[in-house]
């Protein structure tokens, strides 16, 4: 009864295995359109994940997305400079990682080109709203068949880890594109409070015909 639910669950084996350092983007757009979002380093997969948060009825919740990969060791510390540069440090000491080097110190700078991505995923009364980094193709983004969803939760226990349990299959029944083609409101039947909701949007194309850089996200619905 005293447990404060995690704001965002990072599903084990799907988003990563060993999340580590965190940084909040307060640079006001110097690192791209991700202002006020959070970056989480990942040791095992040598990646950085991206999180958007919101507060609903007094509880934080939100979505995690894959973001950056290809680092040369397992990431642990992560810091962001005022000019937007993202610095990461990594090590393979003790644990293996996807990166092949024993240690690393790397930086990431924004090229000025914005990838076609789901910028935010937020909860609504009857589903979710997606905001994109570029205008969508209304035909694909407005088709419910372009999306899929699964949901599950985990056992809260003292021993390490948990299987995915209490699986559900929420159904996207409608997709409404905004007038400026940058948002899509999804009506979803069968959401489950307290569950991770895994969204896939493989069918969505941008107005120029490109697919999403990362066509999935995981939303924790507290």
| % of the chain surpassing 70 pLDDT | 100
C-alpha dihedral (137, 142, 144, 147), degrees to nearest 10: 40
Per-residue pLDDT averaged across 117-138, rounded?
Answer: 98
pTM value is: 0.96
Rounded-to-integer distance, Cα 146 and Cα 1, Å = 39
Q: What is the pLDDT of residue 2?
A: 82
Confidence of residue 145 (pLDDT cuts 50, 70, 90): very high
Q: What is the pLDDT of residue 1?
A: 76
3-state SS class at 206: strand
Rounded-to-integer distance, Cα 155 and Cα 133, Å = 35
Dump pLDDT digits (tens) for 95-124.
789 988 999 999 999 999 999 999 999 999
Confidence of residue 17 (pLDDT cuts 50, 70, 90): very high
Contacts of 185 by beta carbon, 8 Å cutoff, 6+ apart: 124, 127, 128, 129, 130, 175, 176, 178
What rounded mean pLDDT belongs to the chain?
A: 96
Q: What is the pLDDT of residue 182?
A: 98
| φ/ψ (deg, to 5) at 145 | -70, -10
Residue matched to tokens 């909040």: 24
Q: What is the pLDDT of residue 131?
A: 98
Q: Is the pLDDT at 183 greater than 80, yes or no?
A: yes
């Amino acid at each position: 009864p005293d447990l404060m639910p995690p704001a965002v669950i990072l599903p084990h084996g799907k988003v990563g295995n060993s999340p580590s350092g965190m940084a909040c983007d307060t640079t006001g757009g110097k690192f791209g359109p991700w202002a006020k979002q959070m970056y989480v380093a990942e040791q095992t997969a040598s990646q950085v994940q991206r999180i958007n948060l919101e507060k609903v009825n007094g509880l934080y919740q939100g979505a995690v997305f894959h973001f950056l990969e290809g680092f040369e060791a397992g990431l642990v510390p992560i810091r962001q400079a005022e000019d937007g540069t993202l610095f990461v440090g990594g090590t393979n000491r003790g644990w293996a990682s996807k990166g092949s080097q024993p240690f690393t110190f790397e930086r990431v700078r924004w090229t000025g080109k914005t990838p076609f991505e789901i910028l935010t995923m937020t909860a609504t009364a009857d589903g979710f709203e997606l905001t994109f980094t570029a205008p969508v193709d209304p035909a694909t983004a407005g088709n419910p068949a372009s999306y899929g969803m699964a949901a599950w939760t985990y056992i809260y226990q003292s021993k390490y880890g948990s299987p995915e349990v209490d699986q559900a299959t929420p159904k996207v029944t409608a997709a409404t594109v905004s007038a400026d083609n940058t948002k899509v409101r999804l009506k979803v039947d069968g959401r489950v409070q307290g569950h991770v909701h895994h969204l896939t949007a493989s069918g969505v194309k941008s107005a120029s015909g490109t697919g999403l850089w990362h066509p999935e996200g995981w939303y924790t619905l507290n």
